[in-house]
C-alpha cells in the first residue's frame, strides 16, 4: 500500500512561495497517490508523555554545546578548526541542517545557529558540485585504513548527508540558494560519482574495499541515492531519478549480510524504498524485504530490536544512527505494504534499544554490547554520546515516528491507531483529531489508553493495531463493549463513530517468553522444565536484569502460576529505568528454566 505525499509537499511548497514546483508535483507524484495512508506533518502532532519528552530532549540537544556553534558545524566544509570527522565533508553540517530545519517551523527556525549555517554553507561548494577538499576523481579509491586518513570516500558520505540537509532547508524555509546548491550536488552525482564509481569495468577496484567500515566504498558511494530521489521529488528532473536507479542497480551485488557498516546499509535500503514509491517497481521493495527477513531471522537484529554498529551477528558496539535508520525503515515498509509486522518491530525497537541508546543529555551515541555467535545478549558500558552523527539521526527517527502514531487510510475512510501512546494528532487534513492518553495499567492489562475522536463533520471507521505481544484487545464506549474483527493485524470496529466519541482500549497480555529470534515460547504443561536461551517480555517491553553480570548469559529460574509466568524481583523495562539505571550494564537474554 502506497503513501501519498502530494498534499503535504504541495502545502509545504506553497507555504514557502514555490507554486510552480507545487504544480509540478501533481504529475510526478500521481502514481504514488493511487491508494494508501495520509500522514499528518510531524510538527502538527503533539507527542506527550515519556516519549514526547524524549523527543523534545533530542531536539533541544541541538541548542547546546558544542552543536549550536556556526564555526563548529561548518568545519567539515571550510576546515576552520580541528574537530572529529572534518574529512566527512557535509556529515555534521548536513545532519544538523536536516533535523533542525524539519523540526522547526517556517517562522521560528531553531536553534540559533541554523539560519547562519544555511546562509553561509553554500559559499563553500566546489565548482564540480562537491563540498570538501579538492579531489582528482580519476585516481583509485583511497582506503588508507583509519577513517580520518581517507579523502574520497568520506567526502562522498558527507556530501550525501548534506544534499538531504540542503533540500530540507528549502522544504521548510524556501531558501532558493539551498535548492540550487543541492541541484549542483545532484549534477555532481550525475556527471562524476555515478560514472566513476558505478563503472562495471572497475569492479576489481571496488570489490576489495566493499567490506570495510565507515570509509568503505559500499558505505559511502551509495549514500547519495536518497538525496537524488528527494531532488527528483522536488524538481521533477528525470536525470536525478535515472541516476538513482543506475546506482541502486549497481549496488545490488554489494547488498549483502554481513557488511561493515549497518548505518550505511540500512540508509541505502531507505533509498530503495523511496525508489519503489516513485517507480512502483517491486524489485526495490523485494530487495529490502529480503534483506529485512535475513537480518531479523539471522540474528543481525537483537531481541531488543536493535543492531550493532557493524551489520554483523557478533559485534561489540551499537550506534544510534543505525537504530534510527532501522526505526525509519520499518515505518517505510509498513507505509508501503500495510503489514503490521513492521510496526511491531518499530515498537520493539523504540521501547527497548532506542531508549537504551539515548543519553540523559537527549543525544544518542554508542555503547558496548555483550554478544556471542547468536547475537547481542546484554548492554555493557556507554562509550560516547556521538554528537558528530548519532545525536542528529536519533532526533530524526523520533521526528518520523510521530507521523505514524495515527494515520488516515483514505482507501477505507478509516483512522488507523498504530501506537498506544500519549499524543494529539490531526487526521485527514484536520477533519478529525485523535487525542490519545495512557491510563494506569491493570492486572493482565499492561497497556490501557483513552482515545477521544473529534471532528467537525461526518463519521469515520476506527482500527487499532493488534500488537504481537497482546493476547486480546477490548474496546468500550461509554461503558458499552464494542465488537470488532481482527484482520491484517488490526482490530477493526464493525460500527462507525460520531465526533466526540471516547473509547477505552485495553491491551490484554501476560508475561511471555521468546527465543533469540523473536519466536514465542510456550510454557510447558509439565514443570519444572528447561526452556533454553531466551528473553522475558511483558507488553512492548523486554525485561532487563538490573543487577548482576551482563557480560555472560546467566541462568534464570522463573515460576509459573496457573501457566502464567511471574516477573521476578529486580527486573525492569528500559522505560521504567532512570537515566542513571540506563547508564548501567544490563542483561536481557537468559538461560531459562521454569519451576
Residue owning grid cell 492518553: 437
- Find, among 496, 509, 486, the residue nearest to 567 by Cα: 509
Q: Are 595 and 555 in contact (CB under 8 A)?
A: no
The neighbour count for residue 104, using CB atoms within 10 Å, is: 21
pLDDT of residue 31: 31
Helix segments in 351-389, DSSP class H: 355-357
Cis bond upstream, residue 464 (ω within 30): no
Torsion angles phi and psi, residue 523, rounded to 5: -80, 120
- Find, among 304, 324, 327, 302, the residue nearest to 312 by Cα: 302
First to last CA, the chain: 46
pLDDT of residue 209: 63
Q: Are 455 and 499 in contact (CB under 8 A)?
A: yes
Let me know if 388 is exposed, middle or buried by CB neighbors in 10 A (0-12, 13-18, 19+): buried
Task: Read off the C-alpha cell for 67.
Answer: 552543536
Q: Are 60 and 394 in contact (CB under 8 A)?
A: no
Q: Are 172 and 118 in contact (CB under 8 A)?
A: no
The neighbour count for residue 581, using CB atoms within 10 Å, is: 13
Report how far residue 95's alpha carbon sits from residue 295's, in angstroms, rounded to the nearest whole number.
Answer: 26
Helix segments in 236-340, DSSP class H: 238-251, 262-279, 282-297, 320-337
**DSSP 8-state class, residue 351:** I
Torsion angles phi and psi, residue 258, rounded to 5: -75, 165
State CA 330 to chain mean position distance.
7
- Find, among 507, 464, 582, 451, the residue nearest to 54 by Cα: 582
Give Cα separations from 456 to 403, 405, 577 (angstroms): 22, 21, 41
The neighbour count for residue 172, using CB atoms within 10 Å, is: 25
DSSP string, 473-524: EEEEETTEEE-EEEETTEEEESS-B-TTEEEEEEEE---EEE-TTS-EEPPP
Residue owning grid cell 535508520: 325
pLDDT of residue 35: 40
Q: What is the pLDDT along the chain (595 residues), one digit of tens a residue?
A: 333 343 444 344 444 444 434 433 332 333 333 346 888 999 999 999 999 999 999 999 999 999 999 999 999 999 999 998 999 999 999 999 999 999 999 999 999 999 999 999 999 999 999 999 999 998 877 765 556 678 899 999 999 999 999 999 999 999 999 999 999 999 999 999 999 999 999 998 888 766 678 888 999 999 999 999 999 999 999 999 999 999 999 999 999 999 999 999 999 999 999 999 999 999 999 999 999 999 999 999 999 999 999 999 999 999 999 999 999 999 999 999 999 999 999 999 999 999 999 999 999 999 999 999 999 999 999 999 999 999 999 999 999 999 999 999 988 889 999 999 999 999 988 889 999 999 999 999 999 999 999 987 677 889 999 999 999 999 999 889 999 999 999 999 877 778 889 999 999 999 999 999 999 999 998 999 999 999 999 999 999 999 889 999 999 999 999 889 999 999 999 999 999 999 999 999 999 999 9
The neighbour count for residue 187, using CB atoms within 10 Å, is: 17
- Find, among 586, 592, 589, the residue nearest to 565 by Cα: 592
The neighbour count for residue 16, using CB atoms within 10 Å, is: 17
Three-state DSSP at 578 gives coil
Cis bond upstream, residue 342 (ω within 30): no
DSSP 3-state percent helix, strand, coil across the chain (nearest 5): 45, 25, 35
Task: Read off the C-alpha cell for 80.
Answer: 576552520
pLDDT of residue 147: 64
Bridging pattern class, strands 414-417 and 406-409: antiparallel
pLDDT of residue 22: 42
Helical packing angle, 91-103 and 70-78, nearest 10°: 140
Task: Read off the C-alpha cell for 526.
Answer: 509439565
**DSSP 8-state class, residue 133:** S
Q: Are 245 and 194 in contact (CB under 8 A)?
A: no
Task: Read off the C-alpha cell for 167.
Answer: 533540500
Give Cα separations from 447 to 290, 304, 438, 563 (angstroms): 32, 19, 8, 21
Residue owning grid cell 477490548: 474
DSSP string, 85-131: TTTSTTHHHHHHHHHHHHHSBTTB--STTHHHHHHHHGGGB-TTS-B
pLDDT of residue 17: 46
pLDDT for 168-206, tens place per residue?
999 999 999 999 999 999 999 999 999 999 999 999 888
Bridging pattern class, strands 414-417 and 461-465: parallel
Let me know if 221 is exposed, middle or buried by CB neighbors in 10 A (0-12, 13-18, 19+): buried
Report how far residue 36's alpha carbon sits from residue 51's, in angstroms, rounded to the nearest whole number.
Answer: 27
Report how far residue 295's alpha carbon sits from residue 290's, in angstroms, rounded to the nearest whole number.
Answer: 9
Task: Read off the C-alpha cell for 341.
Answer: 509486522
| Stated length of the chain | 595
Report how far residue 73's alpha carbon sits from residue 66's, in angstroms, rounded to the nearest whole number.
Answer: 9
Report how far residue 3's alpha carbon sits from residue 29's, in angstroms, rounded to the nearest whole number.
Answer: 10
The residues that bridge with 376 in the sheet, in sequence order, are: 371
The residues that bridge with 416 in the sheet, in sequence order, are: 407, 463
Torsion angles phi and psi, residue 145, rounded to 5: 115, -90
Amino acid at each position: 500500500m502506497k503513501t501519498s505525499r502530494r498534499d503535504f509537499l504541495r502545502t509545504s511548497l506553497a507555504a514557502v512561495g514555490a507554486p510552480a514546483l507545487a504544480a509540478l508535483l501533481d504529475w510526478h507524484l500521481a502514481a504514488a497517490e493511487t491508494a494508501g495512508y495520509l500522514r499528518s506533518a510531524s510538527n502538527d502532532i503533539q507527542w506527550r508523555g515519556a516519549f514526547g519528552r524524549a523527543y523534545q530532549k533530542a531536539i533541544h540537544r541541538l541548542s547546546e554545546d558544542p552543536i549550536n556553534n556556526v564555526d563548529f558545524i561548518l568545519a567539515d566544509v571550510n576546515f576552520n578548526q580541528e574537530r572529529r570527522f572534518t574529512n566527512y565533508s557535509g556529515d555534521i553540517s548536513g545532519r544538523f541542517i536536516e533535523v533542525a530545519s524539519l523540526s522547526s517551523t517556517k517562522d521560528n527556525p531553531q536553534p540559533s545557529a541554523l539560519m547562519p549555517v544555511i546562509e553561509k554553507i553554500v559559499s563553500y561548494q566546489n565548482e564540480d558540485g562537491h563540498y570538501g577538499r579538492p579531489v582528482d576523481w580519476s585516481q583509485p579509491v583511497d582506503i588508507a585504513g583509519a577513517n580520518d586518513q581517507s579523502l574520497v570516500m568520506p567526502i562522498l558520505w558527507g556530501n550525501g548527508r548534506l544534499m538531504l540537509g540542503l533540500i530540507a532547508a528549502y522544504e521548510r524555509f524556501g531558501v532558493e540558494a539551498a535548492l540550487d546548491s543541492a541541484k549542483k550536488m545532484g549534477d555532481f552525482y550525475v556527471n562524476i560519482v555515478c560514472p566513476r564509481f558505478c563503472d562495471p569495468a572497475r569492479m576489481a577496484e571496488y570489490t576489495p574495499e566493499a567490506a570495510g567500515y565507515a570509509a568503505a566504498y559500499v558505505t559511502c558511494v551509495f549514500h547519495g541515492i536518497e538525496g537524488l530521489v528527494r531532488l527528483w521529488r522536488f524538481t521533477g528532473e528525470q536525470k536525478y531519478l535515472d541516476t538513482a536507479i543506475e546506482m541502486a542497480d549497481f549496488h545490488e551485488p554489494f547488498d549483502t549480510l554481513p557488511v561493515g557498516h549497518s548505518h550505511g546499509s540500512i540508509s541505502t535500503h531507505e533509498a530503495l524504498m523511496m525508489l519503489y514509491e516513485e517507480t512502483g517497481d517491486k524489485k526495490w521493495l523485494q530487495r529490502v524485504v529480503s534483506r529485512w527477513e535475513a537480518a531479523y531471522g539471522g540474528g543481525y537484529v537483537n531481541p531488543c530490536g536493535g543492531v550493532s554498529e557493524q551489520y554483523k551477528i557478533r559485534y561489540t558496539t551499537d550506534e544510534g544512527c543505525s537504530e534510527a535508520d532501522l526505526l525509519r525503515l520499518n515505518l517505510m515498509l509498513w507505509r508501503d505494504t500495510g503489514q503490521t509486522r513492521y510496526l511491531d518491530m518499530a515498537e520493539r525497537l523504540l521501547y527497548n534499544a532506542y531508549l537504551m541508546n539515548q543519553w540523559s543529555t537527549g543525544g544518542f551515541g554508542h555503547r558496548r554490547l555483550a554478544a556471542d555467535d547468536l547475537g547481542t545478549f546484554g548492554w555493557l558500558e556507554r562509550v560516547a554520546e556521538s554528537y558528530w552523527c548519532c545525536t542528529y539521526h536519533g532526533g530524526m527517527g523520533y521526528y518520523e515516528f510521530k507521523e505514524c502514531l495515527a494515520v488516515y487510510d483514505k482507501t477505507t475512510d478509516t483512522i488507523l491507531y498504530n501506537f498506544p501512546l500519549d499524543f494529539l494528532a490531526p487526521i485527514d487534513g484536520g477533519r478529525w483529531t485523535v487525542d490519545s492518553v495512557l491510563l494506569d495499567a491493570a492486572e493482565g492489562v499492561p497497556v490501557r489508553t483513552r482515545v477521544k475522536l473529534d471532528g467537525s463533520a461526518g463519521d469515520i471507521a476506527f482500527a487499532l493495531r493488534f500488537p504481537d505481544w497482546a493476547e486480546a484487545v477490548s474496546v468500550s464506549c461509554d461503558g458499552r463493549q464494542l465488537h470488532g474483527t481482527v484482520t491484517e493485524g488490526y482490530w477493526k470496529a464493525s460500527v462507525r463513530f460520531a465526533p466526540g466519541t471516547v473509547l477505552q482500549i485495553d491491551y490484554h497480555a501476560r508475561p511471555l517468553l521468546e527465543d533469540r529470534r523473536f519466536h514465542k515460547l510456550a510454557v510447558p504443561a509439565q514443570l519444572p522444565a528447561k526452556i533454553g536461551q531466551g528473553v522475558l517480555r511483558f507488553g512492548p517491553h523486554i525485561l532487563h536484569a538490573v543487577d548482576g553480570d551482563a557480560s555472560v548469559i546467566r541462568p534464570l529460574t522463573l515460576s509459573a502460576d496457573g501457566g502464567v509466568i511471574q516477573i521476578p524481583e529486580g527486573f525492569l523495562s528500559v522505560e521504567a529505568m532512570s537515566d542513571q539505571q540506563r547508564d548501567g550494564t544490563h542483561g536481557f537474554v537468559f538461560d531459562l528454566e521454569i519451576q
